[in-house]
Structure 1
């Protein structure tokens, strides 16, 4: 009796319910992919002035490439999750990285803003398809008792990119040029795509859930009490951070020291993220968020005062930038915690909606910062502090809902 052969990369696990082999190596490769995606999302702010000069536009106009990427990511994430649900996971991830790599090559070679904007939209599509699925796939590739660690490794790639994306962009632009910097990001995306093709096992697609069903959770008042806070909080930070190079120059940071200031922001981002995860479990999400938004008001408000007074206090600026980074990225763990509490059955969905809200906030902040850049750094920092204060007030008015048990 003849047997039907199964392709090597599609063979079922040896035991029912057991994960495919190669989970650890695939998880590390997926983490490298999230690092590439995260770097692509944040790297542009690090070389915005040189990009603007090369494309013969103002820094505010060049900053709209960040806005477009963020807005496209936020909109496309739930749409692509619906349209691409049935694709095998390996095919989806490789295609997403390939799309991101080609889009970055397009950005690196862009002769004008129009081409740059189109390439950034395509890059956002690749990023929106990759990031949410990378975490889910990593959890399915390891034993149940290792899933939390696998998720931490994959999301860790994004966290590191969050901390290092802008300073790496600034350094690469200084030494190699902004076009080469984007070319390197493109190369990393394509390299990870090849690695995944070689080592990642075949996994089937998922059941397609209609977009209307996915977004139905937005009709819940408790969810609507949480997501706007993410938009406000990230908008407050990115009003100035999208234009971090000229903003730091305005508080007397010399060009040679800007890179180190950006690394301080990144260090603060890592510390804030890790500390928020620990303290949210101990003290509750509301207390952590109150401290975070208060710290952001203090950091951005103080930087506004330094810019307005023309003071030269570099050590103080360094501490404020560290606090700024910590307060910006301490929001995600408690916000996710609040969302999972109010919608535990739709946890993956509400967490992905929170990611969309993060990018909406980045886009909003970039628009506000770009529109007011001509008014001076004190105004931009001050607006960021004001939006952070609005976020704090919004939190105080909504935290009595069932979104917080701490």
Structure 2
């Protein structure tokens, strides 16, 4: 998923491009909301379509797997497509896919529309970041990228809770219709506001993925998969999971909001902490917090104790420990392959979605018997992620020093 930046120099970048970058960020907000909004109305959707909650949760799994698989394929196939046309087309596909999901009469059709939605999302997100960085001067490029990526995090903070609220007021199908409308409106805005931008150069997929032969990259990427799997064992099943710790379905939106606030705080603070203490230390701390948080959730569920205040704190730390992972992992990958920075960051994004798919699948299996085990399974995976991180970080450090 190595995205070539459009051929613009900082001198040619428009002076007043903040509105365009914000519009691109609104698009990533729509993508993020679409990816995770199902968590806000899973039981209603499952009941109406006549499937179990675990099966309905697999719609998130399918979306995540398809996103991870199609991202590098689409990056190769669409390399020569002009960026404005590609971004608009991706949002149109995403919007139409959400219309299809909202109108789906059966679960099989709904799953097919989630595959289509993943195609649109996989084409949009990496290109939105590349285009944003080309619209500003070099010294503002980092801020532009941060703004676009923040759309995904903000979607976790407010998009999913708003989706939960909309589904309770108007129904889950209408909530998805609103997501579709947002995608289409942003697409229209980009068609009007974005300038003509050059396409990238076509590079064979095998060349793009050649960086996977780097032993350090091989050791780092599985940490992303394991960490996100731990974080997302319970997220798609948030309503039954929170119900197991004494939070009613109507109050779940507030817990999702606290999770989102924690996600924003974790993502923002971990970058600074990584610069100061290093990525490995930040990740180990994050996995320790995640393990304790998920184990505490499981213990509350097992004991049948309802402590809403404590659950709110745990929701915050769950979100913070889940989303503190990305900055240090990107930092570690760039250090391992500095000449392939765009590609390894893109591969890390694929790893994130593979982890989400794996975690959602495991959570569905664990939760089919008792919601308590959703939390405990996540805690176990977080421990495995920490163990793998510690063992491989020592090995890669020794390799760089020439020690075998």
Which of the five TM-score ranges fits, normalised by the shorter chain? over 0.9
CA contact (8 A) 1:21 1:201 kept: no
For residue 204 of structure 1, report the CA deviation from its aligned partner.
1.0
Q: Could you tell me which residue of structure 2 aligns to residue 378 of structure 1?
A: 372
1:64 partnered with 2:58: yes
Q: Report the TM-score when normalising by structure 1.
A: 0.94
* Counterpart Cα distance in 1 of 2:351 and 2:10: 38
Q: Say whether residues 1:396 and 2:390 are aligned partners.
A: yes
Q: How far has the Cα of 1:255 moved from its partner?
A: 2.7
Matches within 5 A, 1:10-49: 17-20=11-14, 23-49=17-43
**1:21 to partner: Cα distance:** 6.5
1:197 and 2:198 aligned = no
1:360 is matched with 354
Aligned equivalents of 2:10, 2:219: Cα separation in 1:
42
Deviation at 1:28, TM superposition (A): 1.4
Give the Cα separation in 1 of the matches to 2:230 and 2:10. Answer: 49
Deviations 1:186-217 (A, max 9, x none): 00010011111111000010001110011111
Deviations 1:21-72 (A, max 9, x none): 6522211111111111111111111111110011111111111110000000
Q: Which runs of 4+ in 1 moved over 3 A?
A: 401-405
CA–CA separation in structure 2 for the residues paired with 1:239 and 1:152: 27
1:255-289 per-residue CA deviation (whole Å, 9 max, x = no partner) reads 33211111111111111111101100011001100
RMSD: 1.6
For residue 268 of structure 1, the aligned residue among 262, 282, 288 is: 262
Match in the other structure for 2:234: 240
Q: Is residue 180 of structure 1 aligned with residue 169 of structure 2?
A: no
SS at match of 1:353: helix
Superposed CA offset, 1:136-163 (max 9, x none): 1011111112111211221121221122
Unaligned runs of 5+ in 2: 1-6
The aligned counterpart of 2:203 is: 209
Q: How far 1:239 sits from its partner (Å)? A: 0.8
Contact 2:10/2:138, CA 8 A, preserved across alignment: no
Which of 262, 271, 284 is matched with 2:278 structurally?
284
Residue aligning to 2:93: 99
Q: Distance in 1 between matches of 2:157 and 2:326?
A: 14
1:6 corresponds to which residue?
Answer: none
Tell me, yes or no, if the aligned pair for 1:22 and 1:200 is still in contact at 8 Å: no
Spell out, residue by residue over 1:336-364, the C-alpha distance to the aligned partner (whole angstroms, 9 max, x if none): 00000001111110001000000000100
Structure 2 counterpart of 1:162? 156
Uncovered stretches (5+) of structure 1, i.e. residues with no partner: 1-11
* 1:106/1:119 contact within 8 Å kept: yes
Cα deviation, residue 237, structure 1:
1.2
1:38, 1:271 → 2: CA distance? 17
1:5 maps to: none
Structure number with larger C-alpha Rg: 1
| Alignment pair present for 1:312 and 2:306 | yes
2:54 is aligned with 1:73: no
Measured in 1, the distance between the counterparts of 2:204 and 2:397 equals: 26
Does residue 141 (structure 1) correspond to residue 138 (structure 2)? The answer is no
Total equivalences in the alignment? 393
| Matched residue SS, 2:139 | helix
SS of equivalent residue, structure 1 residue 399: helix
Compute the TM-score of the two structures, normalised by the length of structure 2: 0.94
